[in-house]
């Protein structure tokens, strides 16, 4: 949703900082986008996905380790400010967390949990911004449709590498070392 009130002036980071605390504020191509905090179904899908990925890939419990994961972190990509639902960095690219409240190192993997209020934004400008920043992998999770689409960046374009639904097994790059049932993400 475009919440920028003066179309003659591009939005700035100050507009992000001034956003109401109950909204997620993002800045893409000079336009401020405000979205309500995630619904319970949306939050459940993101939390459950993190619960499946963090132990084996971040902590190294029964998995390869080597990653750092964060929920809803503020990501600065040039003049754009995004808030991915989940993001993951290979530790060799980001061995420790920065001391500031935001990140300027693009993640190696980003995940957006689609909702009616964010779907259009996530599937267009945000996806294009991730590609321009060379984010290698992008997952789109839709709790209403009970689907996961996984993309890999190839020559600057997104290549669909998996489309899963309901309770199919998730064993998808870059996290194909460990499998889990997709239904773990659904609230019901």
Give the domains, in start order, of the chain with CATH numbers.
Answer: 38-185 (3.90.1570.10)
pLDDT of residue 65: 96
The ranges of the chain with pLDDT < 50 are: 1-5
pLDDT of residue 2: 46
pTM here is 0.93
pLDDT of residue 188: 83
Q: Is 149 helix (H, G, I), strand (E, B) or coil?
A: strand
**CA-CA distance, 6 to 17, in Å (whole number)?**
17
pLDDT of residue 6: 56
**How do residues 159-186 score in pLDDT, each as one tens digit?**
999 999 999 999 999 999 999 999 999 9
pLDDT of residue 7: 62
**CA-CA distance, 106 to 156, in Å (whole number)?**
15
pLDDT of residue 4: 45
Is residue 72 classed exposed, middle or buried when 0-12, 13-18 and 19+ CB atoms within 10 A define those classes? middle
Token digits of residue 86: 């989940």
């Amino acid at each position: 949703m475009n919440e920028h009130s003066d179309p003659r002036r591009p939005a700035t980071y100050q507009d992000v900082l001034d956003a109401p605390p109950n909204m997620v504020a993002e800045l893409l191509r000079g336009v401020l986008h405000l979205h309500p905090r995630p619904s319970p179904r949306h939050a459940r899908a993101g939390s459950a996905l993190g619960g499946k990925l963090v132990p084996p890939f971040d902590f190294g419990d029964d998995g390869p380790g080597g990653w750092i994961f964060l929920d809803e972190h503020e990501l600065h990509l040039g003049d754009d400010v995004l808030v991915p639902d989940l993001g993951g960095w290979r530790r060799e690219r980001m061995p420790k967390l920065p001391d500031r409240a935001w990140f300027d190192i693009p993640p190696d993997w980003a995940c957006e949990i689609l909702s009616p209020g964010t779907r259009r934004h996530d599937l267009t400008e945000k996806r294009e911004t991730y590609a321009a920043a060379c984010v290698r992998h992008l997952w789109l999770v839709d709790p209403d449709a009970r689907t996961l689409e996984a993309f890999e960046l190839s020559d600057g374009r997104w290549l669909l590498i998996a489309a899963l639904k309901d309770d199919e097994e998730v064993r998808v790059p870059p996290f194909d070392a460990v499998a889990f049932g997709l239904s773990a993400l659904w609230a019901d």
